[in-house]
Amino acid sequence: MVFSCEVPSNVREPVFIADYLCARFTYHDKARWVGVIREGRVFINAAVCTEDDCVTAGDTISYDPGEWEEPYADLSYSVIYEDEWILGVNKPGNLLVHRAGKSFRNNLVYQLRNVHSPLYPHCHPVHRLDRETSGVVLFAKDSRQGAVFGKIFSEQKAHKTYKAVVSGKFDFGTPYTIEQPVGADKESGINFRFRVDESGKSAVTVIERAQVYENGFTLLTIRPVTGRTHQIRVHLAHLGFPIIGDRLYGLSASEYLSKTRDEITGGLPCRQALHCKSLSFVHPYTGERCEIKAELPPDIKERLN
């Protein structure tokens, strides 16, 4: 199967093909992309290219990845809201929103554009959830609407509510506000790990409700005021209540780097118990408040029994 993409309009000056590919598609580094180009598996405007070729806005790049086995993904997503401009999708745990690594097909964007019935060939995610986080994801039906609805998020006018399961009795009292800056954890040796850091970006999370269960777990209702990467996960771990199943923030950096997922979970399916329960905003076209809800999935409910 050959994958194609168009070079966006913001690429105004010619860029060497290998430089462009490694910057946009980070699942290969530059050396690997050069190797793929030399194997004749990259095309510019339907012609086999060389590493000396350049691309600019409007060019179509095609890539033949050859034979590969995609990582498993849970494709049991559902469209739970639709109007003329947007889609609301209930994403299961263990499903990427965007393509990453070898997950060329097993991601939400590809499924909606190429597999779903009906197809949404021009849809764009307005925001994203981590692979293991389930719940509401908003898609615009085209790039123009992506800009319109993206502005709602950039201006922090979209209100999200999450559910998370943590171990132990959350005894801080609710509502409880966590106001701690979040920045990259550069000392951990792990890419995309964050921590509470005074030099980071301001981040505010409100724990609105804590429901304690007999099995010793607590179900939290959470409203992030800001939208920093991994914000909820970092803030809860900082309080001493990492989310159940969250390997990245429930373990020390050394444990995370030294153990495989199977060693940590005993080979059992396990993902972080975090779910985006609802998303609401004032609809820019109707002027009415739009609220999209996704029920708590069975795998999280099971943690509470």
Per-residue pLDDT band for 269 (boundaries 50, 70, 90) equals low
Q: Tell me: do 85 and 164 sit in the same domain.
A: no
Q: Tell me: do 183 and 233 sit in the same domain.
A: yes
pLDDT of 257 reads: 53
Is residue 197 in some structural domain? yes
Is residue 116 in some structural domain? yes
Q: Average of pLDDT values for 284-294? A: 97
Of 11, 37, 63, the position where a domain reaches its end is: 63
Per-residue pLDDT band for 117 (boundaries 50, 70, 90) equals very high
Quick check: 303 pLDDT over 90? no
Say how far apart CA 252 and CA 270 lie, in whole Å: 18
pLDDT of 259 reads: 57
pLDDT of 260 reads: 56
Q: How many domains does the chain have?
A: 3
Is residue 241 in some structural domain? yes
pLDDT of 12 reads: 86
Q: Tell me: do 182 and 123 sit in the same domain.
A: no
Q: Average of pLDDT values for 74-83? A: 96
142-170, pLDDT tens digit by residue?
Answer: 999 999 999 999 999 999 999 999 989 99
Is residue 207 in some structural domain? yes
Say how far apart CA 184 and CA 149 lie, in whole Å: 27
Is residue 289 in some structural domain? no
Q: Tell me: do 126 and 172 sit in the same domain.
A: no
Q: Tell me: do 93 and 192 sit in the same domain.
A: no
Q: What is the CATH number of the domain that holds 248?
A: 3.30.2350.10
Per-residue pLDDT band for 255 (boundaries 50, 70, 90) equals low
Of 137, 155, 173, the position where a domain reaches its end is: 155
Q: Which amino acid would we find at residue 272?
A: Q
Q: Tell me: do 161 and 149 sit in the same domain.
A: no
Q: Tell me: do 121 and 86 sit in the same domain.
A: yes
Phi (first) and psi of residue 194, to 5 degrees: -120, 170
Residue with tokens 């390997």: 247
Quick check: 62 pLDDT over 60? yes
pLDDT of 71 reads: 84
pLDDT of 258 reads: 60
Of 63, 82, 107, the position where a domain reaches its end is: 63
Contact predicate 211/218, CB 8 Å: yes
> Closest Cα to residue 126, out of 102, 107, 109, 101?
109
Q: Tell me: do 33 and 124 sit in the same domain.
A: no
Is residue 283 in some structural domain? no
Quick check: 256 pLDDT over 70? no
Which residues, including other chains, have CB under 8 Å from residue 187's CB and lie 6 or more apart? none
Q: Tell me: do 197 and 258 sit in the same domain.
A: yes
Residue with tokens 């070729």: 53
Annotated catalytic residues are 130
Q: Tell me: do 210 and 252 sit in the same domain.
A: yes
Residues pairing with 46 in the sheet: none
Q: Tell me: do 94 and 35 sit in the same domain.
A: no
Contact predicate 185/221, CB 8 Å: no
Q: What is the CATH number of the domain that holds 26?
A: 3.10.290.10
Q: Tell me: do 163 and 92 sit in the same domain.
A: no
206-227, pLDDT tens digit by residue?
Answer: 999 999 998 889 999 999 999 8
Per-residue pLDDT band for 242 (boundaries 50, 70, 90) equals very high
pLDDT of 3 reads: 80
pLDDT of 254 reads: 59
pLDDT of 66 reads: 77
Among the residue ranges 37-46, 120-129, 154-163, 296-305, the one predicted with the least confidence is 296-305
Is residue 298 in some structural domain? no
Is residue 293 in some structural domain? no
pTM, 2 dp: 0.80
Exposed/middle/buried for residue 20 (C-beta within 10 Å: 0-12, 13-18, 19+): buried
**Assigned token pair, 152:** 């709602």
Enclosing domain of residue 175: 156-272
Mean pLDDT of the chain: 90
Best mean pLDDT range from 185-189, 248-252, 262-266:
185-189
